[in-house]
Structure 1
């Protein structure tokens, strides 16, 4: 089976019998005068079953091509100027689906370097990584071939691309893990957005204390991961983790400092801001409870469960042992500016109130 160009058509033939044909464009280029762009899937499947030796000279091809071994590889290009051909696969990353605790820019830079080390030519096909504004980033991986079936060669590129991808994700995740703490929560689905938003506000809470940290979350079918990556992690990580547990306790204490006359302006602003976050969280929980009651008239069993969830939703949703607050982590009374909280007493109060 081979391909030939005749009368502005690309023909695929077996023993001189045409089995498929498609119109091509004439570009006027001396080296690549023929262009095939976005052919239908049946034609590209036939074309990719050809040996590169049986592809006509001067042909340039751009087409969707979904790899079966790497779901992110979904585009192929081929140019044949002489006896060899340049064959490439493009790897597509949707920014809206990027849920790793490191930036896609950091990943893409390392990805292209490691692909280059394997002998591929790789480039970002989306413009500058530093100022992208599209919904996708495309990394093109290219190699020169002189023989071989196109689909098999594309599979080899995709397999290498997948292997490098997985290795870099693991490498960067381990690097991040050394300087972060990660907590897993299993929020009830109807409360997931509310609780996640409250936890993200922990970043503002730290900022008000003069601590810089990146807070990110990942939601999937297994629950919610909260990732806290502070600057100066070596010295601050353990203290920030203690603050995190304290922050989760705030909605369950009876009051924040009521006497603000003795506080400085900055302390009052800090307290007001913190109180606002806590009250918003409580209000959203109450509104969600009302919506659930109105939406489902058969909710009598769930109503009883909600009484407990209202009180301990953040703490009980944490997948680690709740005794972290009562023994595993030895934290006594802590002070943040004007606020003093004893988490052990809070937890005992919560437990006694639910008996």
Structure 2
């Protein structure tokens, strides 16, 4: 059952007056959160990942017993110079008939190193949302004069019975698709004769995936397209650039070829392709590269499974060790002759301490029990 408490917290111990109200979700404190109340509208901004994960289990209908609106930030895997503030309305306002969600894109404009400006990015996102003509999404700017203060969109309806996790997943998928389309559109304008694609590969398989991309130029040559490729790694991911040497070459054909090339490792008809092409050397070489990538992915997946199994084994060992630690006092008590039952639950004996001597009655009783047991079985 959800329980959200409001607690006063002193952020700066050197400033006694620096008290602020924070959120406690199911007894988990978020010391960097904020709680505010304006005209009976209760808002909470969350920061701690554990608290956010806990709150993700619940629905707006459950949360509105404590808060009317919640806000949290997410990093965007498609473009790391962006992050998004997501606000979810849990109780409809008087002038709004339904629950809504709003997204504000924030940018690291100090470290902005793109060939296009933040304003161009905002304009492109605005054009895409408008051209999609979806009444559920509406573009807005936080400040009409300063674009770096934030821009984003409003989602006009959310289901109050969906969990925050489900809503966040849906919103994040829309955001990443939106940014991908915006970057692609801007890149096509800036580099009309070049095809640019960006990837964010997981670290364990990044090297293998980049090696597979290297062979794409030969793949194009086998198709009769003369082009060069460049792979650049930066803080925001892997940028793959394809430059046709023939200016008349169709970028759309190259884009289609790249799609086929990238999806091939997950296909299950490589043997059939090879047979239908009469063992063409170019197809065999391509197949060898696919199998090389697949083998690396298989090894990586096996290592991850082994790591997970090792972690589970360590958890089990730790659990067993803790039980041993808990049981040790009782075991040591027995070893020291602490107590022995004569009649279970009714009568027991303990060690007797006298002046200058002691009688270990529990141990004497145990010796007698063992002797009687041996005689009865003789």
Fold shared by both chains (TM-score > 0.5): no
Please state which band the TM-score falls in when normalised by the shorter chain.
0.3 to 0.5
| Higher relative contact order (Cα pairs below 8 Å, separated by 6+ residues) | 1
> TM-score, normalising length from structure 2?
0.38
> TM-score, normalising length from structure 1?
0.40
Q: Which of structures 1 and 2 has the bigger CA Rg? A: 2
